[in-house]
Structure 1
Amino acid sequence: MRAMLEGNRVSRISVRGFAVASATAVTTVGAVVGVASGNPQSPSDNLETTAADATLLADVPMGQQAQVQVSSLAEQADAQAAVADATAKKAAEEDARLKAAKTAESKKAAADAKAEEEREAKERAEKERKEKEARERASRDSARDSVGLTAKSSYTVAEVQALARQIIPADQFQCFSNIVQHESTWNYLAVNQSSGAYGLVQALPGTKMSSAGADWRTNPATQIKWGLSYMNERYDGPCGAWTFWQANRWY
């Protein structure tokens, strides 16, 4: 124990000696600077002050000095950890933002691709519909042109209606039938005694129907063709003509 105390005393004495020596050197320099600057100061005063300060610092126990150093290191470590946490948090937030942006971009691209597919499918469906309508129209035109090529001496109402079904589009037939029923009760030889209107659709004058065929007087197919053409041109179809007829009782 005595040896340890003596060792500690030697350490403190050594520290004091070092502090005094350092203070002496610093004081000497300060004195020289003071003289040069015109502010002379007693070298002994500077020496005593510095030596005393050094002695006070040297008197701090070694354990407490170590504790102060450890505390300072701990504070530095805490500060570094806080900076690291903040950096990691910022990096995580940036990563999350980039992932969210990438996800949104992917969803938008998928939505755009789906919309494009739907648009193309709609265009294909519309094209197919028009092509189908064109084929059906061509088929109707062909059937209409072929109807009545072999003329008969007379036709029943059922036969005339069958001819009309071959010529008139299905979605327009009922409107056409309504007009013919009111105008001639499906009699292709009907004549209006007061006006001279003639045939199934009561063309006025009847000679108008010659544009559809020279046999307009006796061939119901020719009368039906002319009546459909007239309704299409003037009323955009038999149903348009029927709407007008209902409001005016003529067309």
Structure 2
Amino acid sequence: MGRYEAERTTLSHRLAGGIDQALAKTPFTRPKLPRLKRHATRPMWGFIFSVGFLLVSIVDPYSGTMASASTMQVYDYEGGSPEQTYGYASTQKISYSRGGFNIVTGDDAAAMFVEAAGAPESGTAKAYALELLMSMKYGDDQYSCLVKLWERESNWRHTARNKSSGAYGIPQSLPATKMATEGPDYLTNPETQIRWGVKYIKGRYGSPCGALAHSDKLGWY
């Protein structure tokens, strides 16, 4: 077996022999090409690979990029049209009840009761969130919804990470790099995370109670 393999002609030699036989009765002859050694073809294969990679980059320059804050689209919560939101802010009816708020959301009249969150301790993440909401003309009802929503999502821990999805931080941003639009310290600063989360909620659902209603209905927001 070993000797047969050693003496067996290659495919290129067999093809060349067949061409020579076909041209034997004609005035034409097969051109003799220089025989290249295996190591001599390596630069050629390297050139082909380099050109192919360059062409892929030209056709789709972002095909190999990872998700980053600079390449992500950020929703314009101030300039967005109503069609881009879930519209929960306009369909909700909120009434005060003893110890909390009765909230009815949407055409399906989904109702829920949200406990009043109460005044947060000064200097905490919740205190910062309340101040931010008040500056955006939201009331105690929306703050209570936000407290309940983020207690469910992260228990207000700025280092909370979802093991299955990778969502991160108090608002559970997915991916975490989205929050970089509010500051480079988005992994360690709860205030940066809260600013991003509240703006996201306003742009997507109109209000924290709208986001909470969506979360109650579908399990995510």
TM class by shorter chain equals 0.3 to 0.5
TM-score by length of 1: 0.37
TM-score by length of 2: 0.41
Larger RCO (CA within 8 A; separation ≥ 6):
2
| Structure number with higher helix proportion | 1
Larger radius of gyration: 1
| Structure number with higher strand proportion | 2
